[in-house]
């Protein structure tokens, strides 16, 4: 699907589902909270930081961070952003291919469940990297290409809207090209409700990994 169609798609979802995580296309509350809580725990405690939630949707993912930090949310679905503002995010309409922020602004940049909607991911990763402070953290969560479960699901899938999936190494190389190190992964295995943290990709168990998060630290120049 093209970018303008995704905007329309998520505007419609926000009209139908309101502030619910269904507006951001999560299957249900349980799978959303499993992903969110494990990922935020893995990210570690944050206090007095400037954080960007890029492609924030209705803002449910980064809402817990608003208590102790300043959290900006950017998204091209303005209908979704209205709910993110209610959750305490400082919302800014915009496209991830041209973020409306200065270089090196954020201590932490999150991009959760968005990259699978992007036709050409490298310009977006470059933008996310640009707005991350030297020494700051970029965390991207997306769908894993290699999982057995996804291959089986695809055989039955009528609506193939989520066409794009990623190899962990593909994103690791993108992080390295953008000047990030200390790269780590958090691996999820839907429908199972556990996660594993690893510094390596390419393990045998990765064939059951349905989604993963990758985080890295931007090198100081
Ligand atoms: C699956 S939802 C995830 C929302 C949120 N990150 C979460 O995990 O709850 C994807 C979001 O990315 C936004 N999005 C997709 N492509 C975008 C782009 N190029 N620029 C800005 N927002 C985009 C959509 O509008 C939607 O709100």
Residues whose CB falls within 8 Å of the CB of residue 195, separated by 6 or more in sequence, listed in order: 38, 42, 186, 187, 188, 189
Substitution site in 15, 80, 117 for ligand 1 pocket (most atoms within 8 Å of beta carbon):
117
Atom of ligand 1 nearest to the CA of 7: 25
Ligand 1 neighbourhood includes 56 CB (under 6 angstroms): yes
Amino acid 201: pLDDT: 82
Domain boundary assignment for the chain: 3-218
Dist CA 31 CA 218 (whole Å)? 30
Ligand 1 neighbourhood includes 57 CB (under 6 angstroms): yes
Dist CA 219 CA 106 (whole Å)? 14
Encoded tokens for 7:
């905007």
Residues whose CB falls within 8 Å of the CB of residue 189, separated by 6 or more in sequence, listed in order: 147, 149, 195, 208, 209, 210
Contact 130, 159 (CB under 8 A): no
How many Cα atoms are found within 13 Å in the side-chain-facing hemisphere of 55?
26
Ligand 1 mean position to 221 CA, how many Å?
Answer: 30
β-bridge mates for residue 211, sequence order: 143, 188
Candidates 51, 44, 91; CA nearest to 71 is 51
For 3-218, CATH gives 3.40.50.150
Ligand 1 neighbourhood includes 99 CB (under 6 angstroms): no
Ligand 1 mean position to 114 CA, how many Å?
Answer: 5
Reading the chain (221 residues) residue by residue, the pLDDT tens digits are 777 799 999 999 999 999 999 998 887 888 899 999 999 999 999 999 999 999 999 999 999 999 999 999 999 999 999 999 999 999 999 999 999 999 999 999 999 999 999 989 999 999 999 999 999 999 999 999 988 887 787 777 666 565 689 999 999 999 999 999 999 999 999 888 889 998 888 788 889 899 999 999 999 86
């Amino acid at each position: 699907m093209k970018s303008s169609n995704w905007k329309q798609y998520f505007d419609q979802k926000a009209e139908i589902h309101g502030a619910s995580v269904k507006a951001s296309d999560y299957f249900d509350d349980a799978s959303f909270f499993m992903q969110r809580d494990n990922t935020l725990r893995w990210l570690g405690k944050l206090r007095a930081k400037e954080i960007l939630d890029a492609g924030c949707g209705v803002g449910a993912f980064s809402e817990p961070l608003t208590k102790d930090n300043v959290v900006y949310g950017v998204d091209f679905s303005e209908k979704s952003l209205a709910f993110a503002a209610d959750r305490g995010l400082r919302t800014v309409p915009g496209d991830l291919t041209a973020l409306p922020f200065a270089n090196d602004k954020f201590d932490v940049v999150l991009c959760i469940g968005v990259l699978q909607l992007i036709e050409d991911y490298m310009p977006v990763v470059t933008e996310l990297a640009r707005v991350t402070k030297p020494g700051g953290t970029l965390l991207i969560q997306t769908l894993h290409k290699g999982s057995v479960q996804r291959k089986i699901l695809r055989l039955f899938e009528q609506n193939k809207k989520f066409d794009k999936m990623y190899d962990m190494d593909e994103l690791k190389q993108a992080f390295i090209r953008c000047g990030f190190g200390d790269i780590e992964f958090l691996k999820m295995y839907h429908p199972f409700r556990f996660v594993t943290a690893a510094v390596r990709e390419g393990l045998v168990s990765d064939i059951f990994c349905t989604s993963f998060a990758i985080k890295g630290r931007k090198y100081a120049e």
